[in-house]
Amino acid sequence: MPSTTGKLLAAALTAAALALGMAVAHSAEMATANDTARFLAGLPPAADSPLAELTKDPGWQQHARRFDAIFKHEEDVQLSKVRAFSKERLTNKHQTMLYMFSGPDFLYATSFFPGASTYVLSGLEPVGEVPPLNGLRRGTLDGSLQNLESSLYSLVSYSFFITKNMKTQLRSGPVYGTLPILYVFLARTGKTIKQVNFVTLDPDGNVRTIDESGDKNAAAAAARRAAQSAASGVRIVFSEGDRPNQTLYYFSTNLANDGVKRSGFLVFCGKLGPADSFIKSASYLLHGGGFTTVRNFLLERSATILQDDSGIPLAYFDAKKWRLEPFGHYVGPISIFPNSYQARLGQLFRNATPIDFGVGYRWRKNESNLLLAEKTAPGTGEADLTSPSPADSERQGVDAQSPDGTKIMAGSHRKHEKHAAKRCRFLGIFPFCSHAR
């Protein structure tokens, strides 16, 4: 018969084993993608989430306070004004929003185009991974949160990601890539994540879902995923409040001519119908010959294009197809892009409508520029949009000549019935419009 001491020892061992088993089971319990996103964003997950206990850690609480301050400032200074601009100026929105060269910048995608049913973001940055956070060591988790803060610094400070910093920040640690940043932006803009799938594209632009449920090595799974396609990505289904579900795609893919032609990416985008395209802080890549395929695609398939001066050069917009409206100030490119100045763009922006927020490389609001290009209806001629009446010409004076020899027609501010809120004139043969003030 076992002794009393033996019984107590056996009971203690059994209790310890049960406790250990419960701890292992708890650490293995998977949090939802939405709870994970909220935790990374410094917002409390659901009370019954396996991540709820981790919010008691002083490191997470400090992270939450920092993100509260950062995003409150971003909301007050930038995002509220961007949304007001969108509501007033971007009145003809479409269901698809394309954002080439975006990296993980969903923050500005949803602020400018909040109602899109499908967002497609793309860049060279890897999709990455977010492993179960409750399975990470405390020091590793704290380091991942700090790295996330560093990754977001340039966007919330200047409105764009600094590419050279992203190359290191988005490729280090167990929590890495664009996915955790997308999670933060979704959570901080009030979205609820419903479903997340890793995907690839075949050459015909068909989406293939990847099942990684049996993969225990996240890094190896990510490497296999990237090797399966020239466009590997993630699909996130989300909603805001009781509104219909929306879908966000991010693809890690090469948009240069040699890469994009074989990836299936543009074929996929083309299947989504007319799009609102956004281009910001794009390193002036669309100015050169290495990205002509993407440039031509955007001009052909976009219903509207909203861009700063790093986007498609003015010379590529066909005056018979596009109506242009400038906002802000064009002071030329920053010093690291010295050969990208556009003289005609300078002329176009002389009487541009001001904006009260900063965007792009010239992130100070008195230096920022945005150009809204709207594709005109088939058969709409220049005269229908912008031709001046004789009385207008007489009031405005004779035609002026710009410093580079471009003719700017005077007196072409007659309001067209269809566009009564706008004033339009020519830059050479080119029609562009500004809101009447």
Cβ atoms 184, 152 nearer than 8 A: yes
| pTM for this model (two decimals) | 0.79
Domain ranges in the chain are 15-307
Structure tokens at 418: 């269809």
Query: What's the CA gap between 368 and 254, in Å, rounded?
Result: 28
Q: DSSP letter at 372?
A: E
Query: What's the CA gap between 180 and 276, in Å, rounded?
Result: 25
Q: If DSSP codes are grouped into helix, strand and coil, which group holds residue 50? A: coil
pLDDT digits (tens, 9 = 90+) for 113-136: 999 999 999 999 999 999 999 999
Residue bearing the bigger pLDDT, 386 or 191: 191
Q: Where are the alpha helices (H) located in 75-137, listed in sequence order? A: 80-89, 106-112
pLDDT digits (tens, 9 = 90+) for 139-186: 999 988 988 888 787 556 554 444 454 445 456 679 999 999 999 999
Query: What's the CA gap between 312 and 298, in Å, rounded?
Result: 9
Q: Residue 42: what residue type?
A: G
Structure tokens at 415: 């309001």
Give the model's pLDDT for residue 226.
57
Q: What is the dihedral of CA 401, 402, 405, 407, to 10 degrees?
A: -50
Query: What's the CA gap between 293 and 258, in Å, rounded?
Result: 9
Give the model's pLDDT for residue 436.
44
Cβ atoms 283, 152 nearer than 8 A: no
- Nearest residue to 111 (alpha-carbon basis) of 278, 356, 293, 347: 278
pLDDT digits (tens, 9 = 90+) for 19-64: 434 433 344 478 999 999 999 999 999 999 999 999 999 999 999 9
Task: State the pLDDT confidence band at 227, using cuts at 50, 70 and 90.
Answer: low
